[in-house]
Amino acid sequence: MTYRKAKEKIYKWIFTILAFASLFFLVGIVIVLFKEGTPIFKEVGFLKFILGRHWYPTSNPPDFGIMPLMLGSLWVTLGASMVCVPLGVGSALYLNEIAGFKQRQLLKPVIELLASIPSVVYGFFGLTVVTPFIQKLFGLPTGMTALNASLILGIMATPTVCSISEDALSYVPRSFREASFAVGANRWQTLTQVVIPAAGSGISTGIILGMSRAIGETMTVLMIAGGAAVIPHTFLEPVRPMTAAIAAEMGEAPMGGSHYHALFAIALILFLITFVFNIIAEIISRKFRIKLGLSG
């Protein structure tokens, strides 16, 4: 009896430790980001850092303004959402409303497979196919622009949006549809006024998580966004998103120097942005579950 109790206690401890391990990692990462990132704020000032329009970390004296990098991230993320939202939500609606059982059974895994392709492969595809195409199409000096980064990131984020939206749509109980049809609504009315609103927060969660995937993506943008740390004015200019800047420059930045701290500060800001994205997604999806009566 006491042996069994002791065993139970040990199991409990093991699982508690495992559960808290990820929290531990998260806290550790945040501490490192703060510790290594904040010194740069003392050096150039927080506002100057995030609002500065010039990023010349290696010139003398250096300029540590990350506005071009943040705008680079913003542009490709917005561009990507213009691709992944219609594509992802559209295919989710197709899968749920139009495709038959067999088609859905086949298509959904295929779309989800898109998510498992390594990002370097996407980058390669963008480099060899999309970039030359865009260059020719618009007659540009280089095809490596915010536009093709957006396109590729959009495709990469589509499975996330599609998969979560499709789940949300399939959670809508059949009884809601039946209730709608029973009062004489047609398919379109049922879809737009009952099904989509009922799944709305689930779909928004998918969109936000898709966007947070796009903003955090590194390898692809490093390969195809062009890398120019200049404030972009159109989608046809090269950009250097925050992730690309960190990945490209970390190797050259002397450890403990200002540039090094500046890159950590970028990572910190990026972390905060995706953190906020995820919190919003969490709040919305919790609301969704309550709305559908899935949990109190």
Partner 1 sequence: MDNKVKMQAKKVDFFYGKNQALKNINLDVYLNRVTAMIGPSGCGKSTFIRLFNRMNELVPHTSLRGRISLDGQDINDPSVDAVDIRRRIGMVFQKPNPFPKSIFENISYGLKVNGIKDKAFIEQKVEDSLKKAVIWDEVKDRLGDSALRLSGGQQQRLCIARCLAVETEVILFDEPCASLDPISTAKIEELILELKKDYSIVIVTHNMQQAARVSDYTGFFLLGELIEFGKTQDIFTAPKDKKTEAYITGRFG
Q: Is 5 in the site for partner 1 (CB under 8 A)?
A: no
How many chain residues interact with partner 1 (CB under 8 A)? 23
Question: Per the structure block, which two tokens stand in for 131?
Answer: 């970039």
Pick the closer one to partner 1 by CB: 54 or 104.
104
With the C-alpha atoms ordered 136, 150, 112, 268, is the resulting torsion angle positive or negative? Answer: positive
Q: How far is the CB of 199 from partner 1 (least distance, A)?
A: 10
Q: Is 259 in the site for partner 1 (CB under 8 A)?
A: no
Stated as kind and residue range, the H or E segment containing 126 is none
Q: Is 293 in the site for partner 1 (CB under 8 A)?
A: yes
- The dihedral formed by the CA atoms of 212, 218, 219 and 221, expressed in degrees to the nearest 10: 90
Residue ranges in 117-176 that form contacts with partner 1 under rule CB under 8 A: 173-176
Q: Is 108 in the site for partner 1 (CB under 8 A)?
A: no
Q: Determine contact, residues 171/202, Cβ cutoff 8 Å.
A: yes
Q: Is 74 in the site for partner 1 (CB under 8 A)?
A: no
Which residue among 14, 121, 179, 272 contacts partner 1 (CB under 8 A)? 179
Pick the closer one to partner 1 by CB: 6 or 290.
290
Which residue among 16, 105, 193, 234 contacts partner 1 (CB under 8 A)? 193
Q: Is 198 in the site for partner 1 (CB under 8 A)?
A: yes
Distances 96 to 38, 85, 162, 240 between C-alpha atoms, Å: 48, 16, 11, 38
Pick the closer one to partner 1 by CB: 16 or 193.
193
Number of residues in the chain: 296
Pick the closer one to partner 1 by CB: 3 or 101.
101
Which residue among 1, 19, 182, 255 contacts partner 1 (CB under 8 A)? 182
Residue ranges in 13-52 that form contacts with partner 1 under rule CB under 8 A: none
Q: Is 197 in the site for partner 1 (CB under 8 A)?
A: yes
Q: How far is the CB of 169 from partner 1 (least distance, A)?
A: 14
Looking at residue 56, the DSSP 8-state letter turns out to be: E
Q: How far is the CB of 287 from partner 1 (least distance, A)?
A: 11
Amino acid at 66: I
Contacts of 126 (CB under 8 A, 6+ apart): 148, 149, 151, 152, 220, 223, 224
Q: Is 95 in the site for partner 1 (CB under 8 A)?
A: no
Q: How far is the CB of 282 from partner 1 (least distance, A)?
A: 20
Q: Determine contact, residues 89/256, Cβ cutoff 8 Å.
A: no
Question: Per the structure block, which two tokens stand in for 34?
Answer: 């703060």
Amino acid at 34: F
Q: Determine contact, residues 217/119, Cβ cutoff 8 Å.
A: yes
- H helices then E strands: how many in the chain? 14, 2
Q: How far is the CB of 106 from partner 1 (least distance, A)?
A: 16
- The residues that touch partner 1, with contacts defined as CB under 8 A, are 101, 173-186, 189, 193-194, 197-198, 291-293
